[in-house]
Structure 1
Amino acid sequence: MKFEKMYSTIDTHVAGEAFRIIIHSSIVLGKKSLKENAAFVKENYQFEKDLLLNEPRGHRGMNGCIVLPSQKADFALLFLNHDPQVTFQYSGLAAAVTGLLETGNLPEKASSLYNIETTEGVFTVKAPLENGEVMKVQMENRSCTVTGREDHFITAVADGSRQYLIYNLPESVPALEMQYISAIISWGKKTAEHLHRSGTDFQGFILKEARDPGENTVRSVTFGKDGGIIRSPGVDSTLLLYTAAPEQSEGSGKFTNESIFGSKLTARLISKEENQFSIELKSFVTGIHQFILAEEDPLRNGFLLK
């Protein structure tokens, strides 16, 4: 067998959301800015993206991050996603810094502070390393804004660029529990189709179920543009739910968002005026892989089951 190409990755998950950290590949970049490189990848490396994210090597929920050197930060990240419009994810910052530190691909710093360059600017995360393991990654968002309140949903924007729609539980979904997963999936697909027909601009939409207000907790499901379920509570979702329902978190200054899979994310208020929050994430390295492309492979760039 002749191997045509080889790719080295560190696989991780953050609260159930999978990230493939790409540390070696055939992708060659030489543009001046990260945004130019991102556009170059989108235009010239669709095959490589499909190979790394699609089945049988990946799956519908897989996200990708290309690690690059940076003159502005400790390293740079280019995000790959099945949806080409998704170019930044807070969870990806935690996944990348954890994977790189725990495998020795990023030197440990005494301050535990690491700067990561993205197309959205440079973000600073705190990632203490204890006995070779990153116990938590702490970061802060930039802004959250509620931009509209309609009869059936609330419109909210993260960092001035990523718009989400927040819905209350409909009659067709008795509760956000695994036993009702078919009803949840069906509602998500129908809602996505309706939003696309109406020409609504959105990165995702959120279905929420109120919990005990005294516990400052909600349960939610976030859907992507195609109506597929995102496999974590979601950082954007958690912060926007906090912003849209501040009365639930008054007093304690913290807010917890729980997924139907049992994972949780908790945000803490930094500035009520700016709707800024801090959030702690725990990322787990699930594998270190070398993917090989063989010339005769009939599924060279994989497929997706939807």
Structure 2
Amino acid sequence: MKLAHSFSVIDSHTAGHPTRVILSGLPAMKGETVGQQRDHFRDHHDRLRGLLLHEPRGHAAMVGLVPAVSRTADFGAFFISSYIYLDMCGHATIGYAKTLAATGQLPPGTPGFSLETPAGVVDVGLTWAADDELAAVTLTNVPSYCAVRDVRLDLADGRSISADLAYGGVWYAIVDAAAAGLRLEPDGVSEALRLGAEIKARFKGRTDLPATEPSIMFIAEDSPLEARHLVVLAGNKFDRSPCGTGTSARLAQLHARGRLAEGQSYKAKSILGTSFDAIIRATGVHEGMPAITPQVTGMAHVTAFSTIICEGSDPLAQGFLCR
């Protein structure tokens, strides 16, 4: 059997959403910063993203993490997904912490590490159990803020809904699920995806907004400080977890509306019943915008240690997506 490619990977899930860390098999990336290395990979090796994340070796919702060289932090990494490149990814950062612990790169008792991402340097705190197993990961994310409130969106059925546009490392349009007529349960995903695609179409071409291709974050509040999240991502797939960067954006939105103060806790839940615990660690100003420093705590679990291969004769070497 003649191989064209061979990659060593570790798969995990964070509150239900997958992360595939590619440990070996990739070409060296050029660039002084992690962002530059990400851009080099995108411009010269994007076919490998399809090979690693698309079917038949992956699936439409797969997220990958590529370790990178950092000159400013303990570790560096950039994020790839089945459809786009991400500047930041909260669930994958938590998954990377679990992978580093599982491979012995973070000995038990290590308090944390810094991670350079394309969005900036973030801090990752670690909580260890008495048996030296990793028990929780806390991400102190990039400055997050709510840029625009009450964006009016007219839907095809004649209804109008509003969205708040917030940034948590990635842009999100935050929409109240009840106002949109959605149930955030597993059997409501199809309708959420349909409506999410329509809302995304309403943002395209808007010259009055700082972001025109946000992910759509539907919120169903169970109490003032606890809610279920369903995020419609690029390619009209959805996040199985409560979404780390989305939770950061949600904290910024709540703070901007005077509903969450510095030091207050918030619980973000997924439609699977998994959850993240979040808190506003600090407030300030970022690029002239009132901003917060969010912390999101969750946990990941390893699902596979694998070698992914591609035969030289494989007609589907670059993968495919069906949805």
- TM-score normalised per structure 1: 0.88
Counterpart AA for 1:79: F
Using the TM superposition, name which of 256-265 and 112-121 deviates more: 112-121
| Secondary structure of residue in 2 paired with 1:78 | strand
Residue in structure 1 matching 2:254, options 237, 245, 254: 245
Task: Write the distance in 2 (CA, Å) between the matches of 1:281 and 1:305.
Answer: 30
Partner of 1:16: 16
CA deviation profile, 1:156-197 (whole Å, cap 9, x unmatched): 1225xx321111226663421223233222212222233335
Using the TM superposition, name which of 4-13 and 245-254 deviates more: 245-254
Task: Write the distance in 1 (CA, Å) between the matches of 2:145 and 2:173.
Answer: 12
Partner of 2:118: 119
Does residue 230 of structure 1 match 2:239?
yes
Query: Does the CA contact (< 8 Å) of 1:173 and 1:184 recur in 2?
Result: no
Does residue 2 of structure 1 match 2:2?
yes
Does residue 208 of structure 1 match 2:219?
yes
Measured after TM superposition, the shift of residue 251 of structure 1 is 9.9
Partner of 1:301: 318
Partner of 1:36: 36
Counterpart AA for 2:24: H
Residue in structure 2 matching 1:186, options 183, 194, 218: 194
CA separation of 1:178/1:272 partners in 2, compared to 1, >3 Å: closer, same or farther? same
Using the TM superposition, name which of 8-17 and 64-73 deviates more: 64-73
Residue in structure 2 matching 1:165, options 149, 170, 173: 173
Query: Does the CA contact (< 8 Å) of 1:53 and 1:63 recur in 2?
Result: yes
CA deviation profile, 1:198-219 (whole Å, cap 9, x unmatched): 5752331211122233xx1112
CA deviation profile, 1:213-241 (whole Å, cap 9, x unmatched): 3xx11122111133321221111222222
Task: Write the distance in 2 (CA, Å) between the matches of 1:269 and 1:33.
Answer: 28
Does residue 58 of structure 1 match 2:58?
yes
Partner of 2:158: none
Using the TM superposition, name which of 68-77 and 11-20 deviates more: 68-77
CA separation of 1:71/1:242 partners in 2, compared to 1, >3 Å: closer, same or farther? closer
Partner of 1:258: 269
Measured after TM superposition, the shift of residue 269 of structure 1 is 2.6
CA deviation profile, 1:64-84 (whole Å, cap 9, x unmatched): 111234343332112212343
Task: Write the distance in 2 (CA, Å) between the matches of 1:123 and 1:174.
Answer: 34
Query: Does the CA contact (< 8 Å) of 2:59 and 2:82 recur in 1?
Result: no
Measured after TM superposition, the shift of residue 24 of structure 1 is 0.3
| Secondary structure of residue in 2 paired with 1:56 | coil
Note the residue ranges of structure 2 that are not aligned, 5 or more in a row. Answer: 153-161, 285-290
CA separation of 1:21/1:295 partners in 2, compared to 1, >3 Å: closer, same or farther? same
Note the residue ranges of structure 1 that are not aligned, 5 or more in a row. Answer: none
- TM-score normalised per structure 2: 0.84
CA deviation profile, 1:57-112 (whole Å, cap 9, x unmatched): 111111111123434333211221234342321222211121121122x1427542
Measured after TM superposition, the shift of residue 250 of structure 1 is 5.6
Q: Which runs of 4+ in 1 moved over 6 A?
A: none
Partner of 1:290: 307
CA separation of 1:282/1:51 partners in 2, compared to 1, >3 Å: closer, same or farther? same
Query: Does the CA contact (< 8 Å) of 1:192 and 1:225 recur in 2?
Result: no
Measured after TM superposition, the shift of residue 256 of structure 1 is 1.2
The sequence identity of aligned pairs, in percent, is: 21
| Secondary structure of residue in 1 paired with 2:198 | helix
Query: Does the CA contact (< 8 Å) of 2:263 and 2:281 recur in 1?
Result: no
Task: Write the distance in 1 (CA, Å) between the matches of 2:227 and 2:121.
Answer: 30
Query: Does the CA contact (< 8 Å) of 2:19 and 2:62 recur in 1?
Result: yes
Query: Does the CA contact (< 8 Å) of 2:63 and 2:80 recur in 1?
Result: yes
Task: Write the distance in 1 (CA, Å) between the matches of 2:111 and 2:262.
Answer: 30
Using the TM superposition, name which of 11-20 and 223-232 deviates more: 223-232
Higher strand share: 2
CA separation of 1:120/1:263 partners in 2, compared to 1, >3 Å: closer, same or farther? same
| Secondary structure of residue in 2 paired with 1:45 | helix
Task: Write the distance in 2 (CA, Å) between the matches of 1:251 and 1:113.
Answer: 22
CA separation of 1:7/1:244 partners in 2, compared to 1, >3 Å: closer, same or farther? same
Task: Write the distance in 1 (CA, Å) between the matches of 2:64 and 2:192.
Answer: 26
Task: Write the distance in 2 (CA, Å) between the matches of 1:126 and 1:137.
Answer: 6
Using the TM superposition, name which of 146-155 and 122-131 deviates more: 122-131
